[in-house]
Amino acid sequence: MEASTDSFIRYLATERGLSGAYQLSVRQSLDALAKWWKPSEKPLRDIGTDELAAFLSLRKKEGLNAASLRITTVHLKIFFRWLVARGKLEMDPAEPLLAPRPDQTLPETLHAREVEKLLVSIDPATPLGRRDRAILELFYSSGLRLSELCGLRMEMMDTEEGFLRITGKGNKTRVVRVGSKALDAIADFMTNERPGLVGKRTTSHLFLSVRGTALSPDRVRQIVKERAKFAGIDQNTYPHLLRHSFATHLLEGGADLRVIQELLGHADISTTQIYTHVDRKRLKSIHKRFHPRG
């Protein structure tokens, strides 16, 4: 099974162009299956649907939540489908498996007042204030993923038109709108602070560390937390929270769900629909508070 797993991961990387993080996630699922199957000393072709169901049942007993169990099931399905397509198996034992429904957990968000409080608390005149203000403005203005912001290069920006060309999950490219406040903050940073951060090892990455290198995801997480703490925001604040807030506030403002899907770079509209639950929860709260018979 080890050789088949290696070949499948190469297929995901070279033919499908899937990210390293996705490849690692698939490998972890298949390695767990291999470890469970190895004591039987049977070849891979002897694995049937009952055996796969028993493996998933064990993973559930070991504490795997519904969302992770669903991901593992999907990994098994695409792996065994690939084995059949390559002629390594005659029948697909994973085809009958049903992936469990993930828990419908609502994403956390910041209230618009809290976002405003966070942004205005950053003084551009302080050391790295312009950089940090631009980072937070961009997160909230465009809903970028952490990896997308860290990978942002100057040539990906059209500051005159207010757009970014982003390469997201699965190496898919999308065009992202940048709001006027974020554009102003970025322009201020590029003109008045970034030149002082440039060093011998500097690339075209937009956001730089004090050493002139691209900011790491861990450092950006730290910046967001430090700035939120300084602003007096008690809620746990992290980059993806600003992405959730971006989408939720767009929906509350009347934006179409398909537009939000495109801006976020979601491949499936069902991923974006989680934000409709947030909006319904808000509407229910307003109705209960203000309606005479709420």
d(CA 278, CA 250): 12
**Hey, what amino acid is at 37?**
W
Residue 66: what pLDDT? 82
Residue 280: what pLDDT? 59
d(CA 69, CA 29): 10
Q: Which CATH number fits domain 112-289: 3.30.360.10, 1.10.443.10, 3.30.70.2660, 3.50.50.60?
A: 1.10.443.10
Asked if 37 and 1 count as a contact pair (C-beta separation under 8 A), the reply is yes
Q: Of 249, 247, 242, give the one whose Cα is nearest residue 258.
A: 247
* Domain positions in the chain: 2-85, 112-289
Residue 67: what pLDDT? 82
Consecutive 10-residue averages of pLDDT for the chain (294 residues) = 91 89 93 92 88 92 86 94 92 87 70 95 96 97 93 93 85 88 96 96 96 95 97 94 92 85 83 70 60 58
Residue 11: what pLDDT? 93
Asked if 176 and 142 count as a contact pair (C-beta separation under 8 A), the reply is yes
Beta strand 163-167 pairing with 173-177: antiparallel
d(CA 71, CA 126): 45
Asked if 72 and 80 count as a contact pair (C-beta separation under 8 A), the reply is no
Report the catalytic residues: 145, 169, 240, 243, 266, 275
Asked if 92 and 80 count as a contact pair (C-beta separation under 8 A), the reply is yes
Residue 135, SS3 per DSSP: helix
| CATH class of segment(s) 2-85 | mainly alpha
